[in-house]
């Protein structure tokens, strides 16, 4: 028997304003539950490990990571690299969310294994639209849970 749980959205973003905008618009899209924000890559990795993800144990919850690139300490690219290198976290979907639209950086993120890449456009409507669609998309993403481990 397969049951589904709502996904937890993990946002790694150093800019409070951006984080606030993302959260508001996700809420407007109906994703109210399970939103968590961290301020940089280090915090994100710490959060994942505190929730039980380690090299020996896979995370039980359904999580989607929204990742900004330009962050202090450990930046988005480095965090992505580490998440995808860890056999217990590499299945977690990662959505890059950044102001950079440099094609080389986008290619790099896909090479490293990001699932979706969304630019934060200065054109707010486009940004809102992107977030809303993301919210709708995440609503239907339900991670199937196996009965056994």
Under the rule (CB under 8 A), what is the footprint of other proteins? 14-18, 20-21, 24, 39-40, 70-74, 78, 99-100, 102, 120-125, 127-128
89 versus 98: smaller Cβ distance to other proteins: 98
Q: How far is the CB of 92 from other proteins (least distance, A)?
A: 23
Rounded Cα distance between 89 and 99, Å, is 25
Contact 64, 134 (CB under 8 A): no
Radius of gyration (C-alpha) of the chain in whole angstroms = 15
Q: Where are the beta strands (DSSP E) in 42-87?
A: 63-67
7 versus 74: smaller Cβ distance to other proteins: 74
Q: How far is the CB of 81 from other proteins (least distance, A)?
A: 11
Rounded Cα distance between 110 and 107, Å, is 5
Q: How far is the CB of 146 from other proteins (least distance, A)?
A: 37
Q: How far is the CB of 80 from other proteins (least distance, A)?
A: 14
Contact 90, 113 (CB under 8 A): yes
117 versus 127: smaller Cβ distance to other proteins: 127
What CA dihedral angle connects 68, 45, 132 and 123, to 10 degrees? -10
Rounded Cα distance between 120 and 132, Å, is 13
111 versus 125: smaller Cβ distance to other proteins: 125
14 versus 67: smaller Cβ distance to other proteins: 14
Identify any residues that bridge with 11 across adjacent strands, giving them in sequence order: 37, 66
């Amino acid at each position: 028997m397969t049951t589904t749980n709502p996904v937890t959205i993990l946002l790694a973003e150093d800019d409070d304003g951006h984080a606030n905008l993302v959260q508001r618009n996700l809420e407007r899209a109906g994703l109210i539950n399970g939103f968590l924000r961290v301020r940089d890559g280090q915090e994100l990795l710490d959060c994942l490990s505190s929730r039980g993800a380690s090299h020996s144990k896979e995370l039980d919850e359904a999580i989607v990571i929204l990742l900004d690139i330009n962050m202090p300490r450990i930046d988005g690219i480095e965090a992505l690299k580490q998440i995808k290198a860890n056999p217990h976290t590499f299945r977690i979907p990662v959505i890059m969310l950044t102001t950079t639209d440099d094609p080389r950086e986008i290619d790099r993120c896909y090479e490293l294994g990001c699932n979706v890449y969304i630019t934060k456009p200065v054109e707010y409507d486009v940004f809102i639209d992107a977030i809303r669609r993301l919210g709708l998309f995440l609503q239907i993403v339900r991670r199937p849970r196996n009965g056994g481990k």
